[in-house]
């Protein structure tokens, strides 16, 4: 009987699996990552991704708009400051489109999942990001984009046509928000404060959409023959009635940053401190420019000087928000734009308390500031006058913008101090003393964007050629600065025919449609 | 020739004349069990016992023929003595040696319709490497072992016959005692002395029976079992030393400095480059672009808090950087016991291997125990094999190689080891503003990890019928890796941060007070990770073997079940409160960490038939049907997750079919051919789903955020298939003393599961889809020659060459190429129509007519081409190995060499050393015309003239750092090398001497070396071209993440009791 036993044993072992049914294979459900998600969770992460991505393109914008340069403690970046870049550099395209994929997911799924109130905000964000794409790259996939497998090689749309469609998207978005306003838990003062998603207030989203329309329209204002279109569209925005981002109404995003590496305000985390309070080595990289200091000092605007920068040596780790060295003007050492050597980090000024104060890892980041909105209104009224139907004068908007900039930069008693500058009798500070009102608006807007929105500052610099920022010290003599970016290598590699259809891109000469000179 | 075992049952005749007894041993005096001794021209014969002893009757003048499996038979005339001792030499040819093929099926070479490689223990242990993979390098054609680094935990990538898959796994399957391993890392856990044999199943056909995992070929490792006979104990001890063999090319003319002088064209710029160099000098610089060494006394670093300063000669020290590394050493001790009787065997081994590497304080150890036993009872054979291995590693996570090769040559770096007590070595006083003390970095950043691995199997084999066996093997792997990474906390003093200064007379070089690096305190950190892997694999077979007249048949029906589960959990913190206590409890801020779990299941049915006709023609076919969880969803059609595949091959022994062909010169010829189709479930686990991972950083406290995943899977994903064709022949000449094997193969992989980069404008960066087709082909040849074959003098040589190439036939529509990764300026690529991986790197602009480098006609600096250039493939198409073994009396000398070539490699450390200026190639710092350059002819029409006038503007700095460095072409070199893989001289103590000890039965002592020399291309001034930053498919890029090349030598003593 031994024999039978052995056979039974072996057969039993062999048969362990023979009885397996196909359901035995049913272990292919991902135990680590979700395979579906509600739009509200996607929106929270997408907004955070938007402001995180912005840290990258705002950095380059801050350099090329003359706000910042690099210190000599780091190896000189010829790519950035001698403009020796290729299609392998500055790829904002991929992260932005990836981010757009998230917003598109919300647009496509918000209604089906019973979260239809999120569709409008997602559409606004799509318009917001598409403008940034156009402002860096010109023609881009738009009508054929974000369709997944349905269109694996999206064709490019004309940049002007995209711009025009963005206005329509914003109209739709506003209508959607009005039809499905936020209620209950979704309502908050800012977008996504700590806890579950708060979408902000519906009113504020609509105001943001209107201000964004202004940003899109004013960008085209120097194109000959475009005024009729622009005024028509501005009037529609005014007539919509909700208004624009007013004083105190920055479009802020804060998912509730916490003091943990990878979870802090991404700007702070890159240029400031780590979670345990040690200064980041990259804090030694960006330097406010000498030009920025010179123009502030020339305007006696040391209020904002001391907010935009720390004195040389940087922040006093034991006294957050205050410089190590005495905060006297002589200690504010700006670095000449593009200087290839001679300005080490400890001997020059650091980014200032308007953005970096040790321990304030939980400040929000801004999609758009109230100051920018006010300067857009100022330019609109200055250019097109009262026919727009806006309630205030250009000067009023301008002055509100300057005051808002003081507030944003964290100047103590911002209104009082701003009024000092506004009444200084100095051109481009004091409205009355400014011979060219548009230049005053452009200059003050440029100042208000410093440290906060380099990409917008660079776009506006290309539009206005103002202020007169010096040429990069490290670039070859006579080298023009870039007027756009290359389409990234990644798009060329995977969507070649459509990229090549855009013709040869000369980053120094192929201007965007709104960049007329 | 008959297999010795068969003769066991041959007739045993009774004595006619006188009784002669004797003992059969091998060259080293080790008994050869079960040898066959026959009296020539008679039918008389006996078999020796397990200890080699025999006795038979014969008369003086008779000729005894002695043979044994694996040995050359010898003839011996009977003299007058009654006691004879017979030594057999190991057979040089493998013609009738039984080979372990897939699923442990034993076959004779003539039965095989495909190419296999076999490596025996002797060949493996030539260099006494504690690592099995390294000891296989160059020893089998078609087998590429990439030794991608040299640390105390050396990583390898083992590939057979090149790449088939573009992005999926191309690694050969490693099977140990029948159990397939999911990763090649198991190779590091094996004691090479435990290995009985390694069979290399090169093609898919050979491995069909392992299922999908065998599509890349298989390394089949069989460990030792005991042998019948009395208890045999063996003791071995080896000690070996390891020293750097070479470092990159250094310059020793210029000291610390960077670009401090006024920029070109700005106020204060000096036309005299010497003045610029002098202004560039800084006592605290990490770069080495200062003025030339002149021997004067200069400060390095700054004044310390206690007022002390380091003032040393400004002149290069010789060989100082090399001194940064230690001499490593390894001590290996092991003992094994084996024995058995007619019904059972046992084998027990214990090993301890302890290594200290060349990087200070890096060490590893491995302790293993293996127990195997078999028992036969009636018709049942049962066996088990269990091994436990514990391997411990303690290594730095800092980049010591980078740190050490980038110090200036006048810095006495080797004096900074004691950073705790030496104030100039302490981070608060270390001279360099940007890079910390290499020894501090190495000590302060550690990783300690331990692998505890249990593998075991139980085999039962029951002979149900005379021609039918039931076989079952259940195998398990339980592996756990526990890891702790730590970074010590270091807070700089206020003095270091703000007050340390450069004193007179160097104070002109003081840009500020304080050490730049000290501005960033090190807050410490800890990471704790546990990874568990559990594999269970059951193999059930009905094995049938029956001959019908002239047809021999072996038929196997099998059923295989496989399950693998893994779990990884980790906790971490980026800062610690109290220094020296590395526990997440001692932290500041949030707890980091995560978990990952996987389960994978497969089952497969298979049938395998080998039919032979008269031992001349063999036809073999196999069929398998697999089902895999990787493609399973309950809503998917069965055809998407289960799939059949099959193969057929044949071998034909010409010399037996046509005996007239045979002569003393030409002995044996076999030709073979095979085809097979292999299925492969080459997809990432859980790869069918679009995933929604946490958004970066989420959750923020209680704020939840998810993002749409980056890979969009195609709904119709299914397994991919590889079609292989192989033809070959095996030939033997000169009384079997020359054997030659030739093989040609081609493999087409179709419908690969590929994650292709689609435009991000689709909203998804990547699409996972069945697409892409590759062709992979090659030739292999193996030659063995027994040059001299005499009882006292034996010389064998072997040589092998393989050529492998591949081509990307199809990619996703619209996608012509994609990158595996690397650096933005030098990446390995898959490019349609090309072999892969290919190196694309930023390159010079060249005059298309003269190929000269185009330089800017104003500045003289070389221009960088707008698009990167393809420099060719990065894995070597040509591989050749050569081995020799010479035995004279009691001495044996063996050596193996390997050549690989035809590829290119990018060396990141070349770029690093151009940045710091430590590279020898940067030593031309005086004004000069860029070599072999051309400039625009002034017409701007793309025409160029030879540049004989425009000098580079700032050769003392900008040329190198701002221009030369950025052109990655400068660091792309041919990847060919010739290495002496291993060499060994063994002395067997003479039997007479041994006999006197009474208890030792054999003893030998060996001296050996590994990688004693390496020859590389003269353009390769950087490092070992075999190194790689990855063990993934994108080989071809190395950096300082690997330790420098080393050579090893040692001594080994073996005793058998």
Asked whether the predicted pLDDT for residue B229 surpasses 90, the reply is no
Give B237-271 pLDDT, tens digit per residue: 999 999 999 999 999 999 999 988 887 877 788 99
Asked whether the predicted pLDDT for residue A11 surpasses 70, the reply is no
Smallest Cβ distance to B760: which of A36, A194, A490?
Answer: A490
Judged on CB neighbours under 10 Å (0-12, 13-18, 19+), B285 is buried
Smallest Cβ distance to B767: which of A9, A36, A149?
Answer: A149
Asked whether the predicted pLDDT for residue A121 surpasses 80, the reply is yes
Asked whether the predicted pLDDT for residue A133 surpasses 60, the reply is yes
Asked whether the predicted pLDDT for residue B15 surpasses 60, the reply is no
**Stretch 545-574 of chain B: residues touching chain A, C-beta under 8 Å:** 559-561, 574
3-state class (DSSP) for residue B285: coil
CA nearest neighbour of B647 among B160, B114, B104, B111: B114
Query: How far does A343 lie from chain B, in Å, by closest CA?
Result: 8
pLDDT at A191: 60
Would you give the DSSP letter of residue A478? T
Query: How far does B763 lie from chain A, in Å, by closest CA?
Result: 4
CA nearest neighbour of B159 among B215, B73, B217, B236: B217
Give the count of alpha carbons within 13 A of B881, CB side only.
Answer: 25
3-state class (DSSP) for residue B791: coil
Q: Count CB neighbours of B342 within 10 A.
A: 8
Which residues does chain B have within 8 Å of residue A350's beta carbon, measured at their own beta carbons?
none
Rounded CA separation B917/B908 (Å): 14
Which residues does chain B have within 8 Å of residue A98's beta carbon, measured at their own beta carbons?
710, 760, 763-765
Asked whether the beta carbons of residue B258 and residue A73 sit closer than 8 angstroms, the reply is: no
3-state class (DSSP) for residue A200: coil
Smallest Cβ distance to A344: which of B380, B470, B511?
Answer: B511
Judged on CB neighbours under 10 Å (0-12, 13-18, 19+), A503 is exposed
Task: Report the length, in residues, of chain B.
Answer: 1057
Asked whether the predicted pLDDT for residue A225 surpasses 80, the reply is yes
Task: State the Cα torsion B160-B161-B166-B169 to the nearest 10°.
Answer: -10
Q: Tell me what the mean pLDDT of segment B559-579 comes to.
A: 93
Is-contact A149 A126, C-beta < 8 A?
no
- How sure is the predictor about A8, in pLDDT bands with cuts at 50, 70 and 90? low
CATH of the domain at A439: 1.25.40.390
Q: Tell me what the mean pLDDT of segment A328-352 comes to.
A: 92
Q: Residue A3 falls within a domain, yes or no?
A: no
Does A278 lie at the interface with B, CB-CB under 8 angstroms?
A: yes
Asked whether the beta carbons of residue B759 and residue A490 sit closer than 8 angstroms, the reply is: yes
pLDDT at B3: 34
* Most distant pair of Cα atoms in chain B: their distance: 113
Highest mean predicted confidence (pLDDT) among A107-116, A165-174, A494-503, B341-350: A165-174
Give A153-205 pLDDT, tens digit per residue: 999 999 999 999 999 999 999 999 999 988 776 666 556 544 445 666 888 89
How many interface pairs between A and B have CB atoms less than 8 angstroms apart?
331
pLDDT at B107: 83
pLDDT at A13: 59
Q: Residue A392 falls within a domain, yes or no?
A: yes
Rounded CA separation B285/B258 (Å): 7
Does A180 lie at the interface with B, CB-CB under 8 angstroms?
A: no
CA nearest neighbour of B263 among A341, A289, A69: A341
Pick from B510, B520, B760, B860 the residue to mutate for testing the A interface (most A CBs within 10 Å).
Answer: B760
Give B580-639 pLDDT, tens digit per residue: 899 999 998 888 899 999 999 999 999 999 999 988 999 999 999 999 999 999 999 999
Given the structure tokens 């156009």, which residue do they identify?
A: A134
Does A194 lie at the interface with B, CB-CB under 8 angstroms?
A: yes
Average pLDDT over chain A reads: 91
Q: Are strands B1046-1056 and B229-244 parallel, antiparallel or unpaired?
A: antiparallel
Query: How far does B375 lie from chain A, in Å, by closest CA?
Result: 14
Nearest residue in chain A measured CA to CA from B537:
A17
Rounded CA separation A356/A350 (Å): 9
Asked whether the beta carbons of residue B692 and residue A36 sit closer than 8 angstroms, the reply is: yes
Give B521-557 pLDDT, tens digit per residue: 898 999 999 999 999 999 999 999 999 988 999 999 9
Smallest Cβ distance to A194: which of B700, B757, B868?
Answer: B700
pLDDT at B1: 34
As for how many domains chain A has, the answer is 1
Give B735-782 pLDDT, tens digit per residue: 889 999 999 999 999 999 988 888 999 999 999 999 889 999 999 999
A94, A486, A507, B755, B870 from A490: Cα distances, Å: 8, 11, 17, 14, 17
Contacts of B604 (CB under 8 A, 6+ apart): B211, B559, B560, B624, B625, B626, B627
pLDDT at B659: 87
B755 CA to centre of own chain: 26
Nearest residue in chain A measured CA to CA from B858:
A476
* pTM for this predicted structure: 0.86
The tokens for B20 are 């002669």
The neighbouring-strand residues paired with B983 are: B895, B1009
Query: How far does A490 lie from chain B, in Å, by closest CA?
Result: 7
Would you give the DSSP letter of residue B721? E
pLDDT at B709: 94
Which residues does chain A have within 8 Å of residue B543's beta carbon, measured at their own beta carbons?
none
pLDDT at A196: 45
- How sure is the predictor about B10, in pLDDT bands with cuts at 50, 70 and 90? very low
Q: Residue A426 falls within a domain, yes or no?
A: yes
Contacts of B247 (CB under 8 A, 6+ apart): B321, B322, B405, B1044
3-state class (DSSP) for residue B607: strand
Asked whether the beta carbons of residue B512 and residue A194 sit closer than 8 angstroms, the reply is: no
Asked whether the predicted pLDDT for residue B928 surpasses 90, the reply is yes
Smallest Cβ distance to B762: which of A13, A152, A195?
Answer: A152
CB-based contacts of A390-399 (< 8 A; 24+ apart in sequence): A390/A238, A394/A437, A394/A441, A395/A431, A398/A374, A398/A431, A398/A437, A398/A440, A398/A441, A398/A444, A399/A431
Asked whether the beta carbons of residue B691 and residue A45 sit closer than 8 angstroms, the reply is: no
Is-contact B852 B944, C-beta < 8 A?
yes
Terminal Cα distance for chain B, rounded: 33
**Stretch 329-368 of chain A: residues touching chain B, C-beta under 8 Å:** 339-342, 344-347
Q: Residue A267 falls within a domain, yes or no?
A: no
Asked whether the beta carbons of residue B259 and residue A340 sit closer than 8 angstroms, the reply is: yes
Q: Residue A285 falls within a domain, yes or no?
A: no
pLDDT at A475: 85
What angle is formed at CA B1000 by the lines to CA B994 and CA B1006, rounded to 5 degrees?
75
Does A470 lie at the interface with B, CB-CB under 8 angstroms?
A: no
Does A411 lie at the interface with B, CB-CB under 8 angstroms?
A: no
Does A257 lie at the interface with B, CB-CB under 8 angstroms?
A: yes
Give B777-803 pLDDT, tens digit per residue: 999 999 999 999 888 899 999 999 999
What angle is formed at CA B258 by the lines to CA B255 and CA B264, rounded to 5 degrees?
130
Does A27 lie at the interface with B, CB-CB under 8 angstroms?
A: yes
3-state class (DSSP) for residue B776: strand
Which residues does chain A have within 8 Å of residue B629's beta carbon, measured at their own beta carbons?
25-28
Give B827-845 pLDDT, tens digit per residue: 999 999 999 999 999 999 9
Given the structure tokens 């019973």, which residue do they identify?
A: A114
B380 CA to centre of own chain: 40
Is-contact A421 A399, C-beta < 8 A?
no
The tokens for A179 are 């039809």
Does B472 lie at the interface with A, CB-CB under 8 angstroms?
A: yes
Rounded CA separation B533/B388 (Å): 14
Rounded CA separation B439/B933 (Å): 42
Q: Residue A489 falls within a domain, yes or no?
A: yes
Which residues does chain B have within 8 Å of residue A497's beta carbon, measured at their own beta carbons?
814
The tokens for A297 are 């000092």
pLDDT at B895: 93
Does B757 lie at the interface with A, CB-CB under 8 angstroms?
A: yes
Of residues B96 and B282, more confidence is placed in: B282
Does B686 lie at the interface with A, CB-CB under 8 angstroms?
A: yes
Q: Residue A294 falls within a domain, yes or no?
A: no
Rounded CA separation B891/B987 (Å): 5
Pick from B265, B377, B560, B703 the residue to mutate for testing the A interface (most A CBs within 10 Å).
Answer: B703
What angle is formed at CA B697 by the lines to CA B692 and CA B698, rounded to 5 degrees?
55
The tokens for A232 are 């028509």
Smallest Cβ distance to A149: which of B498, B692, B712?
Answer: B712
Which residues does chain B have within 8 Å of residue A260's beta carbon, measured at their own beta carbons?
574, 589-590, 592
Range(s) of the domain holding residue A110: 24-72+79-257+364-500
Asked whether the predicted pLDDT for residue B11 surpasses 50, the reply is no
Smallest Cβ distance to A35: which of B692, B714, B817?
Answer: B692
The tokens for A369 are 């500031």
Nearest residue in chain B measured CA to CA from A149:
B762
Smallest Cβ distance to A22: which of B514, B592, B627?
Answer: B627
Cis bond upstream, residue B837 (ω within 30):
yes
Rounded CA separation B221/B200 (Å): 9
pLDDT at B185: 85
Question: What is this model's ipTM?
Answer: 0.90
Nearest residue in chain B measured CA to CA from A265:
B697
Is-contact A138 A510, C-beta < 8 A?
yes
pLDDT at A182: 81
Q: Residue A328 falls within a domain, yes or no?
A: no
pLDDT at B207: 63
CA nearest neighbour of B671 among B743, B777, B746: B743
The tokens for B906 are 């990018």
């Amino acid at each position: 009987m031994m024999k039978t036993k052995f056979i039974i044993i072996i057969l039993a072992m062999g048969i362990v699996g023979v009885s397996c049914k196909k359901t035995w294979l049913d272990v292919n459900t991902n135990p680590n990552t979700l395979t579906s998600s509600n739009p509200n969770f996607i929106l929270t992460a997408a907004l955070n991704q938007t402001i995180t991505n912005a840290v990258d393109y705002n950095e380059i914008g801050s350099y090329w708009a003359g706000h910042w340069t690099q210190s000599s403690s780091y190896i000189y970046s010829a790519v950035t400051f001698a403009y020796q870049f290729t299609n392998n550099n500055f790829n904002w395209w991929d992260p932005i489109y990836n981010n757009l994929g998230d917003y598109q997911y919300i647009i496509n799924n918000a209604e089906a999942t019973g979260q239809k109130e999120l569709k409008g905000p997602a559409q606004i964000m799509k318009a917001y990001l598409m403008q940034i794409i156009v402002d860096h790259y010109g023609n881009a996939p738009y009508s054929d984009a974000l369709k997944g497998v349905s269109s694996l090689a999206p064709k490019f749309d004309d940049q002007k046509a995209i711009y025009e469609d963005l206005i329509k998207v914003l109209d739709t978005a506003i209508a959607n928000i009005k039809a499905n306003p936020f209620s209950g838990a979704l309502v908050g003062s800012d977008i996504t404060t700590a806890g579950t998603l708060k979408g902000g207030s519906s009113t504020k989203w609509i105001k943001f959409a209107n201000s964004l329309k202004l940003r899109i329209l004013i960008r085209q204002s120097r194109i000959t023959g475009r005024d009729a279109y622009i005024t028509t569209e501005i009037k529609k925005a005014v007539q919509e009635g909700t208004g624009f981002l007013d004083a105190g109404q920055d479009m802020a995003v804060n998912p509730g940053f916490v003091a943990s590496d990878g979870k802090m305000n991404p700007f702070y985390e890159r240029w400031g401190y780590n979670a345990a309070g040690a200064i980041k080595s990259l804090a030694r990289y960006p330097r406010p420019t000498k030009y920025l200091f010179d123009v502030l000092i020339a305007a006696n605007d040391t209020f904002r000087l001391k907010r935009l920068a720390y004195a040389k040596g940087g922040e006093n780790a034991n006294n957050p928000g205050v410089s190590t060295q005495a905060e006297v003007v002589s200690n504010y050492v700006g670095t000449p734009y593009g200087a290839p050597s001679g300005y080490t980090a400890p001997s020059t000024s650091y980014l200032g308390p308007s953005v970096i104060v040790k321990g304030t890892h939980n400040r929000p980041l801004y999609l758009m500031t109230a100051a920018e909105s006010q300067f857009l209104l100022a330019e609109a009224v200055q250019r097109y006058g009262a026919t727009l139907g806006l309630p205030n004068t250009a000067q009023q908007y301008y002055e509100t913008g300057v005051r808002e900039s003081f507030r944003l930069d964290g100047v103590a008693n911002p209104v009082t101090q701003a009024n000092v500058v506004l009444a200084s009798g100095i051109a481009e500070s004091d409205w009355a003393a400014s011979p060219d009102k548009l230049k005053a608006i452009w200059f003050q807007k440029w100042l208000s964007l410093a440290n906060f929105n380099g990409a917008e500052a660079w776009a506006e610099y290309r539009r206005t050629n103002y202020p007169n920022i010096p040429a990069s010290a490290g670039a070859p003599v006579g080298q023009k600065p870039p007027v756009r970016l290359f389409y990234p290598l990644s798009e060329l590699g995977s969507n070649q025919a459509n990229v090549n259809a855009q013709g040869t891109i000369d980053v120094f000469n192929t201007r965007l449609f709104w960049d007329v000179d | 020739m008959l297999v010795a075992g068969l003769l066991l049952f041959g007739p045993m005749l009774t004595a006619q004349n006188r009784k002669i007894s004797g003992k059969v041993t091998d060259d080293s005096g080790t008994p050869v069990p079960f040898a066959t001794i026959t009296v020539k021209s008679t039918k008389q014969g006996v078999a020796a016992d397990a200890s080699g002893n025999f006795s038979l009757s014969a008369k003086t003048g008779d000729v005894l023929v002695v043979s044994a499996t694996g040995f050359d038979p010898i003839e011996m005339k009977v003299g007058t003595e009654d006691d004879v001792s017979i030594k057999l030499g190991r057979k040089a040819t493998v013609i009738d040696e039984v080979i372990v093929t897939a699923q442990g099926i034993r076959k004779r070479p003539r039965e095989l319709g495909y190419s296999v490689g076999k490596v025996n223990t002797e060949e493996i242990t030539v260099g006494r490497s504690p690592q099995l993979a390294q000891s296989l390098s160059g020893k089998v054609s078609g087998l590429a072992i990439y030794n991608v680094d040299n640390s105390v935990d050396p990583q390898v990538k083992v590939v057979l016959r090149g790449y088939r898959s573009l992005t999926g796994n191309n690694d050969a399957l490693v099977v140990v005692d029948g159990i397939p391993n999911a990763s090649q890392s198991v190779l590091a856990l094996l004691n090479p002395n435990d290995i009985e044999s390694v069979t290399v199943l090169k093609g898919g056909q050979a491995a069909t029976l392992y299922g999908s995992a065998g599509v890349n070929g298989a390394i089949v490792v069989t460990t030792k079992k005991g042998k019948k006979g009395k208890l045999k104990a063996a003791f071995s001890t080896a000690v070996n030393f390891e020293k750097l063999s070479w470092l990159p090319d250094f310059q020793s003319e210029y000291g610390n400095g960077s670009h401090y002088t006024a920029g070109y064209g700005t106020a204060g710029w000096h036309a005299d480059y010497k003045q610029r160099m002098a202004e560039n000098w800084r006592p605290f610089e990490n770069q080495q672009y200062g003025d030339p060494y002149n021997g004067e006394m200069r400060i390095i670093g700054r004044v310390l808090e206690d007022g002390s300063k380091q003032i040393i000669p400004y002149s290069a020290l010789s060989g100082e950087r090399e001194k940064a590394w230690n001499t490593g050493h390894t001590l290996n001790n092991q003992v094994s016991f084996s024995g058995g009787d007619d019904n059972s065997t046992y084998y027990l081994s214990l090993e301890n291997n302890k290594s200290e590497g060349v990087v200070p304080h890096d060490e590893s150890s491995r302790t293993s125990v293996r127990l195997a036993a078999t028992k036969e009872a009636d018709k049942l054979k049962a066996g088990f094999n269990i091994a436990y291995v514990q391997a411990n590693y303690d290594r730095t996570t800092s980049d010591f190689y980078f740190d050490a090769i980038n110090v200036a040559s006048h810095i006495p770096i080797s004096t900074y080891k004691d950073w705790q007590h030496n104030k100039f070595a302490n981070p608060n006083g270390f001279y360099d503003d940007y890079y910390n003390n290499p020894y501090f970095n190495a000590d302060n950043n550690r990783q300690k990890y331990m692998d505890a691995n249990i593998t075991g199997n139980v085999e039962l084999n029951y002979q149900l019928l005379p021609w039918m066996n039931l076989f079952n093997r259940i195998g398990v792997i339980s592996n756990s890796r526990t890891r702790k990474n730590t970074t010590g906390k270091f807070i700089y003093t206020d003095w270091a941060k703000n007050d340390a200064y450069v004193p007179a007379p160097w104070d002109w070089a003081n840009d500020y007070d304080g050490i730049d690096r000290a501005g960033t305190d090190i807050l410490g950190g800890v990471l704790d990770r546990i990874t568990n892997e559990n594999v269970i694999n059951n193999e059930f077979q009905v094995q049938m073997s029956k001959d019908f007249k002239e047809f021999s048949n072996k038929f196997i029906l099998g059923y295989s079940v496989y399950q693998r589960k893994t779990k990884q959990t980790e906790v971490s913190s980026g800062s610690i409160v109290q220094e020296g206590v590395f526990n997440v409890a001692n932290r500041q801020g949030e707890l980091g960490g995560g978990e990952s779990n996987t389960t994978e299941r497969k089952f497969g049915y298979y049938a395998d038939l080998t039919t032979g006709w008269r031992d001349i023609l063999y036809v073999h076919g196999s069929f398998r049907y697999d089902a895999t969880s990787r493609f399973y969803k309950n809503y998917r059609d069965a055809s998407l997750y289960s799939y059949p595949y099959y193969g057929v091959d044949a071998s034909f022994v010409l010399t037996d079919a046509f005996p007239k062909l045979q002569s003393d010169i030409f002995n044996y010829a076999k030709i073979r051919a095979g085809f097979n189709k292999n299925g492969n479930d080459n997809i990432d686990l859980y790869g069918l789903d679009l995933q929604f991972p946490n958004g970066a950083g989420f959750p923020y406290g209680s704020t939840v955020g998810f993002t749409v995943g980056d890979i969009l899977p195609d709904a119709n994903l299914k397994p991919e298939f590889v079609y292989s064709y192989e033809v070959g022949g095996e030939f033997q000449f000169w009384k079997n003393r020359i054997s030659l094997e030739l093989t040609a193969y081609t493999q087409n992989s179709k419908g690969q599961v590929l994650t292709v980069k689609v435009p991000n404008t689709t909203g998804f960066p990547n699409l996972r889809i069945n697409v892409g087709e590759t062709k992979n082909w090659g030739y292999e040849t193996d030659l063995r020659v027994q040059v001299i074959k005499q009882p006292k003098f034996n010389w064998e040589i072997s040589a092998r060459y393989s050529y492998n190439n591949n081509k990307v036939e199809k990619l996703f529509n619209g996608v012509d190429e994609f990158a595996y990764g690397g650096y933005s300026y030098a990446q390995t690529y898959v490019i349609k129509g090309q072999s892969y991986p290919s190196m694309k790197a930023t390159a010079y602009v060249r005059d298309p007519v003269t190929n000269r480098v185009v330089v800017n006609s104003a500045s003289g600096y070389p221009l960088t081409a707008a698009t990167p250039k393809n420099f060719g493939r990065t894995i070597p198409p040509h591989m050749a190995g050569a081995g020799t073994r010479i035995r004279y009396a009691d001495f044996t000398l063996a050596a193996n060499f390997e050549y690989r070539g035809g590829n290119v490699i990018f060396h990141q450390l070349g770029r690093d050393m151009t940045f710091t200026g430590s590279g020898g190639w940067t030593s031309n710092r005086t004004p000069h015309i860029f070599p072999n350059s051309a400039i625009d002819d002034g017409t701007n029409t793309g025409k160029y003239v030879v540049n004989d006038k425009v000098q580079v503007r700032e050769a003392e700095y900008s040329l190198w750092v701002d221009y030369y460095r950025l052109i990655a072409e400068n660091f792309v070199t041919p990847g060919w090398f010739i290495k002496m893989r291993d060499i060994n001289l063994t002395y067997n103590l003479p039997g007479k001497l041994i006999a006197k000890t009474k208890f030792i039965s054999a003893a030998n002592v060996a001296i050996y070396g590994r990688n004693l020399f390496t020859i590389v291309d003269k353009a390769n001034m950087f490092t070992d071209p075999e190194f790689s930053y990855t063990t993934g498919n994108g080989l071809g890029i190395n950096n300082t993440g690997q330790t420098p090349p080393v050579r090893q030598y040692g001594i080994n003593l073996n005793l058998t009791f």
